[in-house]
């Protein structure tokens, strides 16, 4: 699926170029428009792929033990794994109140204000992670999903209670990092990521994140700075 994701994006860009158009998958290309997302749906099945392990008819919210612990792991690691879903400086401009992009790490049934939205029933019962933006690397995003979900299953992490209402207005709930500056130290401190990916890969990913921030901070003059300061200073 990650391969298909990349091929699709490349194909769209090639088709656009052939028509004299440029297409972007930036998470937020304009502050007056909604951002572009990469809502990631996932579920857990048995080894041969013949049976979903997510649905339990008589359980609360029909969530099997596997479902609860999988969701619990995804939520427990969402803040520290945010860079895997939002890898650029621009990624974090997407997380605006009432923008269809989540800011709260909570879950709800078919609630698009939540970071995690539960949808489907029976074999389609699944978790939708609404945190990734369109600029996410699908290989990284899938790796973070697998690592977080397995962490929850292995350690039997239960998710918090279901959130009801408008999650943008929620208080005292964990939040998606507001900027890359916040996401990098959260990722750096992630023992789950380091254990899942190994020291070598983890340090490479962390360095990639740091380089992104460093280049923006020290080597880039933005259009915003020119528009704000050129005449008045």
In the chain, % of residues over pLDDT 70: 100
Comparing C-alpha atoms, which of 124, 128, 126 is closest to residue 112?
Answer: 128
Distances (CA, A) of 187 to 12, 103, 150, 158, 222: 31, 17, 18, 22, 26
Domains recognised in the chain with CATH numbers: 2-229 (3.30.590.10)
pLDDT in tens, 55-69: 999 999 999 999 999
pLDDT at position 196: 98
pLDDT in tens, 173-226: 999 999 999 999 999 999 999 999 999 999 999 999 999 999 999 988 999 999
pLDDT at position 219: 84
Give the C-alpha separation, 204 to 55, whole Å. 37
Q: What is the dihedral sign for C-alpha 69, 72, 74, 77? A: negative
pLDDT at position 176: 97
User: Is residue 93's pLDDT more than 90?
Assistant: yes
The predicted model scores a pTM of 0.94
Mean pLDDT taken over the chain: 96
User: Is residue 87's pLDDT more than 90?
Assistant: yes
pLDDT at position 145: 98
What mean pLDDT is predicted for residues 152-173?
96
pLDDT at position 213: 96
Confidence of residue 25 (pLDDT cuts 50, 70, 90): very high
Return the SS3 of 128. strand
Give the C-alpha separation, 120 to 143, whole Å. 23
Return the SS3 of 117. strand
What mean pLDDT is predicted for residues 14-37?
95
Distances (CA, A) of 188 to 35, 112, 162, 180, 198: 26, 29, 29, 12, 13
pLDDT at position 220: 86
pLDDT in tens, 130-151: 999 999 999 999 999 999 999 9
In the chain, % of residues over pLDDT 90: 95
């Amino acid at each position: 699926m990650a391969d298909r994701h990349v091929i699709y994006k490349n194909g769209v860009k090639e088709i656009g170029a052939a028509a004299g158009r440029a297409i972007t998958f930036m998470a937020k290309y304009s502050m007056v428009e909604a951002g572009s997302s990469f809502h990631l749906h996932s579920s857990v099945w048995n080894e041969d792929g013949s049976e979903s392990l997510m649905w339990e008819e008589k359980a609360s919210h029909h969530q099997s033990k596997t479902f609860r612990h999988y969701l619990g792991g995804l939520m427990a690691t969402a803040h520290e794994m945010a860079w895997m879903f939002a890898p650029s400086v621009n990624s974090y401009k997407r997380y605006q109140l009432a923008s269809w992009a989540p800011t709260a790490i909570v879950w709800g049934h078919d609630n698009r204000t939540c970071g995690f939205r539960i949808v489907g029933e029976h074999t389609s019962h699944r978790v939708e992670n609404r945190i990734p933006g369109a600029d996410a690397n699908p290989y990284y995003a899938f790796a973070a999903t697998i690592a977080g979900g397995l962490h929850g299953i292995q350690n039997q992490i239960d998710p918090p209670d279901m959130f009801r209402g408008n999650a943008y207005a929620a208080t005292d709930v964990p939040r998606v990092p507001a900027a890359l500056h916040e996401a990098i130290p959260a990722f750096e401190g992630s023992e789950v990521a380091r254990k899942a990916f190994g020291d070598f890969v983890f340090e490479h990913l962390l360095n990639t994140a740091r380089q992104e921030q460093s280049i923006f901070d020290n080597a880039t003059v933005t259009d915003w700075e020119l528009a704000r300061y050129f005449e008045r200073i």
